[in-house]
Each structure stands twice: as C-alpha cells, then as structure tokens.
Amino acid sequence: NPRSMMLRTHAQTAGVSLTAQQPMNNVVRVAVQAMAAVLGGTQSLHTNSMDETYALPTAEAAKLALRTQQIIAEETGVTNTVDPLAGSYFIEELTDKMESEANAIICKIDEMGGMVTAVEKGWPQREISRSAYEFQRMLEAGDHVMVGINRFKEEDKGSNIPLLHIDDEVERNQIERLLDFRSRRDNTAYERAMDEVKRACTGEENLMAATLAAVKAGATVGEVSNAFRDVWGVYTDPGYL
C-alpha cells in the first residue's frame, strides 16, 4: 500500500540548545531551527519558548513561539514550494552522510542481537554519555561556539525576563479534588477493576481494555501505574547498576 510508505514527520526545536544566559537569544535560535524544520519538510512543528531553561513558559513566551511559526508560514513564502532545498549539493551530501551513519548504527545494533539486547548491554546509554561528554569538551575548548556561553559573554545578572510562577494553592486544590473524587467512587467496582489490571499484566493479552475499565471505575493514572509497578517492578538502567 503506497500510503504505508508516506512518512509523517513532527519536529520540535532543540530545547538543549537554549541557554539561561542571555535568554532573548533563544528567540533567534528557535526561529532558525523552526525554519530549518520547515525547509526539511516537516508536517508538524513545535517551537520552544525562550524561557524554558528557567520554568514552564509564560503565556507571552508561548505566544511568541507560536508567532515564530506563523511568521515563517505566512510571511517567508517557504511553504509555497514542496521541497525548497531540492537539488542542493550541500544538503544532499549531509543527507547521504546522515543516512550512512544511521545505517552503520542500525547494523551495529543488529549485530548485537537487537535493541533490547543493546540496551541490556548498556551500549546506547554509553553512546549518549559519550556524545554529551564530547559536546561539553568542545564547548569548553571553544571548538563549538554558543553565543553568551563561551563567546560574547556578559556578566551573569540572572534572568532579565518575566517568569511563570505557579501558586502553591494550585497543588492544594488538586489534592483536595483528588481526595474528594476517591471518596465518591464505587470502591467495590474500583477494586475489581484494579485486580483485573494486575491479572492482565501477568498474561499476554492487550492491557488497554483492562486499563480503560479501571479508569471508568474511577482509577487514577497514578493508581494504574502503581498496579503496573506492583506486577513488573521498576526498570533500572543497567548502566547505572
């Protein structure tokens, strides 16, 4: 079926590239990354807010992130062409290089016996740690430039932008609502549904039906998750044992 070969792509700008220092620079970073995603053909896009290194976004920061998408979509004209970068020797070379390196990683994982075995051996975890170490080394050596971090630095005066502060009353209200909800549910139906969830966990059947029944009986996400933990335990990365 040709439709099964259609790749739907969602992209999100790189939160790891955002900096607490000179946070207004993040607006520019996000705009460049969003434009790259659109030029690359993404069908769905999320733009990070400039203040996400400090807290959840303020309404103003979230709106600015949205306006970034809208300006790209409505003012630049890049959406008028299916593939604006088609035929670019530089982009094609980068694409070929990425494909080649990705295939090499896939082959290595296959040689290990698959992804599950690779994770059990700690290989992907080590690769992620190695990549993070190498990036930090390049940053500190000045081989990789981040504006405001290792070049064009300014005296750190803390955040100079408004931040979102959530009142503790929100937490207290939610706890009260949860306790009230639990007090009003049918505990017999709830217990029966939770027992069914645990029973399903011990077999091979799809858990969705039992989970939905538990939710309809008043189980919370946390309670269902605890049922899973009771049966299966908690996963611990072998790389940290």
Q: Residue 241: its pLDDT value, please?
A: 57
Q: Residue 5: its pLDDT value, please?
A: 80
Q: What pTM did the predictor assign?
A: 0.78
Binned average pLDDT, 10 residues per bin, the chain of 241 residues: 85 94 96 96 95 95 97 94 91 95 97 95 92 95 94 81 93 96 96 96 92 97 96 81 57
Q: Residue 100: its pLDDT value, please?
A: 98
Residues 43 and 48: their CA atoms lie apart, in Å, by 17
Residues 33 and 8: their CA atoms lie apart, in Å, by 19
State the helix-helix crossing angle for 208-216 and 221-232, rounded to 10 degrees: 140
Residues 144 and 136: their CA atoms lie apart, in Å, by 9
What torsion, rounded to 10 degrees, do the Cα atoms 96, 99, 102, 104 define?
A: -70
Query: What is the three-class DSSP state of 152?
Result: coil
Q: Residue 42: its pLDDT value, please?
A: 92
